[in-house]
Amino acid sequence: MRETLIVIGLLVLAVALRSARSNIMRKLGAFTFLAASFSLLFFLTSSAWGGLLGAALWFFLPWIELLTRIRRMRLPLDNRLSHREIPNPSFFPNAMEAATAMEEAGFEHVSDCGWEWAGMQQFFRLFWHPEERAVAAVCLCEQSDVAFAFISITSHDADGKIWRTTNFPFAPTLQCPPNVRWNHVPCERSCFHQILKDHREYLGRVDIPAGHLRMPDPEEIENAIEQEMRGQVDHNLAAGLIRLTGDGHFQYSKRGLVFLWGQFIKDMVRLC
């Protein structure tokens, strides 16, 4: 009974820590789950190696989804944005506040559009600012019962490179081309004014003066998003992470599934 009570106690403690508001306490709760798994297998096998296997099993859980849903998933090779109405704001309360903050910062509304990626609906509310030479977007994502929003600010330089600051909460599911650089800020940072400040500081760190940035064309913003996505697809095809299916779609290769597993592990560690 002693071993059983130890495992139950660790599980109860882990659930309690995961319910805390503090990020440090939630991370400690995730480590407590690992300790509970280690203890369970250690007591069953009387071996430290068995306990390590029990803790390691958490990191292989993503393979259940990778080998079922994602392995069969087909994604369009040439996806096109279409004009759409923004979904119910009650699902994305921070998104509407961010759009208001963009207008307060002098960004002008360009369009509302979206597309679908393997069952995920993505909606974009696009803005631009001629003095900042930047494009800002509030992106709303819906898939089944899961919904979240994030902000991005994008600048293009005269050499064709793309510099983006975003609070996107997950690791990218496709490898970024060399000409696209991401500056990730904490996902809980939802204040647009702070993200705009972060973007300015980011451009300063990489030594990109304002005069070296290209002026966005509001008429071409949607086309630029489509071209960037196609460029990312082409880069991943060349890298062997995805492969063509012959019907205008692509799917992840075995190498791509391993890449995705690594991204899942990053999210598990970062967001735990």
Q: Is residue 143 part of a domain?
A: yes
Query: Tell me: the pLDDT tens digits for 107-135?
Result: 999 999 999 887 788 999 999 999 999 99
In a shared domain, residues 38 and 110: no
In a shared domain, residues 108 and 18: no
Domain boundaries, position 152 = 78-250
Number of H helices, E strands in the chain: 9, 10
In the block, residue with structure tokens 């961010």:
98
More confident residue, 204 or 94: 204
CA distances from 79 to 99, 110, 122, 127 (A): 25, 20, 12, 21
Q: Could you give the number of structural domains in the chain?
A: 2
Nearest alpha-carbon partner for 128 in 150, 152, 145? 152
Q: Is residue 268 part of a domain?
A: no
In a shared domain, residues 136 and 85: yes
Measured distance CA(39)–CA(34) in Å, rounded = 9
More confident residue, 34 or 154: 154
Tokens of residue 145, six digits: 């019962």
| Whether pLDDT at 32 is above 80 | yes
In a shared domain, residues 137 and 187: yes
Tokens of residue 112, six digits: 């509302």
| Whether pLDDT at 4 is above 90 | no
DSSP letter at 157 equals B
The predicted pLDDT at position 112 comes to 92
DSSP letter at 29 equals H
In a shared domain, residues 52 and 159: no
Task: Read off the pTM.
Answer: 0.84
- Cβ atoms within 10 Å, residue 171: 16
Element (H, E) at 229: helix 221-239
In this structure, the chain runs to a length of 272
The predicted pLDDT at position 121 comes to 87
- pLDDT average, residue stretch 140-147: 80
In a shared domain, residues 41 and 86: no
Tokens of residue 93, six digits: 């309360």
Measured distance CA(196)–CA(126) in Å, rounded = 15
In a shared domain, residues 52 and 87: no
E-strand ranges in the chain read 75-76, 82-83, 108-117, 120-129, 134-143, 146-156, 162-166, 180-184, 242-244, 249-252
- pLDDT average, residue stretch 15-36: 79
Residues 6+ apart with CB under 8 A from 144: 119
| Whether pLDDT at 20 is above 70 | yes
Q: Is residue 196 part of a domain?
A: yes
Nearest alpha-carbon partner for 233 in 222, 244, 223? 244
| Whether pLDDT at 271 is above 70 | no
Q: Is residue 272 part of a domain?
A: no
% of the chain exceeding 90 in pLDDT: 53
Q: Is residue 137 part of a domain?
A: yes
More confident residue, 225 or 269: 225
More confident residue, 87 or 192: 192
| HSE of 269, CA atoms in CB hemisphere, 13 A | 9
Measured distance CA(250)–CA(70) in Å, rounded = 12
Q: Is residue 99 part of a domain?
A: yes
In a shared domain, residues 48 and 164: no
Query: Tell me: the pLDDT tens digits for 52-88?
Result: 888 888 888 899 999 998 999 999 998 899 998 877 7
In a shared domain, residues 218 and 156: yes
Cβ 133 vs Cβ 148: under 8 Å: no
In a shared domain, residues 244 and 125: yes
| Whether pLDDT at 267 is above 60 | yes
Q: Is residue 267 part of a domain?
A: no
The predicted pLDDT at position 146 comes to 78
User: Which pLDDT band, with edges at 50, 70 and 90, does 38 fall under?
Assistant: confident
Q: What are phi and psi of 78, to 5 degrees?
A: -120, 95
Nearest alpha-carbon partner for 166 in 177, 149, 153? 153
Provide the sign of the torsion angle of the four alpha carbons 179, 185, 190, 196, taken in this order.
negative
In a shared domain, residues 157 and 211: yes
Q: What are phi and psi of 77, to 5 degrees?
A: -70, -45
| Whether pLDDT at 175 is above 60 | yes
User: Which pLDDT band, with edges at 50, 70 and 90, does 182 fall under?
Assistant: very high
Last residue of a domain, one of 34, 60, 86: 60
Q: Is residue 224 part of a domain?
A: yes
In a shared domain, residues 40 and 128: no
